[in-house]
């Protein structure tokens, strides 16, 4: 991907139905058709995406970024839903290294380079 000018790959995740791939990269999130590998869309970010994951129903993508935020987008159109950050979040300037949805999709867990784990309620669906 770096040779294609699409940034450095940090993580790859399959959608729950196996039809899409989400690629967390240094310049955003790339969505690809899992069969043809054709790019479906690019979600640009202003910080490196360390981790990306689909919600259990496949409707959302959550991503942990190097700016210590967690962001959510709709898979259908790449539209932003929310940026999760607060005083109770990860320490400023610490990278969110990994994210995961709960089986119900109502909670997202994030792990940061500051050594903390945070749980976030998913709103705005």
pLDDT digits (tens, 9 = 90+) for 100-124: 999 999 999 988 777 888 888 886 5
Is the pLDDT confidence value at 5 over 70? no
Q: What local confidence, expressed as pLDDT, does residue 44 receive?
A: 93
Mean pLDDT, range 14-24, rounded to an integer: 97
Structure tokens at 75: 């898979």
Mean pLDDT, range 14-25, rounded to an integer: 97
Structure tokens at 81: 């839903």
Break the chain into its structural domains and give their ranges.
2-121
> What are the φ and ψ backbone dihedral angles of 90, each rounded to 5 degrees?
-70, 155
Give me the architecture of the 2-121 domain, per CATH.
Answer: 7 Propeller (2.130)
Residue 125: Cβ within 10 Å count: 13
Instruction: Please state whether 66 falls in left (phi above 0), alpha (psi between -120 and 50) or beta.
Output: alpha
């Amino acid at each position: 991907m770096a040779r294609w000018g699409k940034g450095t790959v940090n993580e790859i995740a399959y959608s729950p139905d196996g039809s899409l791939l989400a690629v967390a990269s240094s310049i955003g999130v790339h969505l690809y058709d899992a069969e043809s590998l054709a790019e479906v869309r690019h979600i640009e970010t202003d910080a490196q995406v360390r981790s990306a994951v689909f919600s259990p129903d496949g409707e959302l993508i959550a991503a942990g970024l190097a700016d210590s935020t967690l962001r959510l987008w709709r898979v259908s159109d790449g539209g932003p839903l929310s940026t999760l950050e607060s005083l109770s979040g990860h320490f400023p300037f610490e990278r969110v290294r990994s994210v995961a949805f709960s089986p119900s999709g109502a909670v997202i867990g994030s792990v940061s380079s500051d050594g903390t784990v945070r749980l976030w309620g998913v709103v705005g669906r």
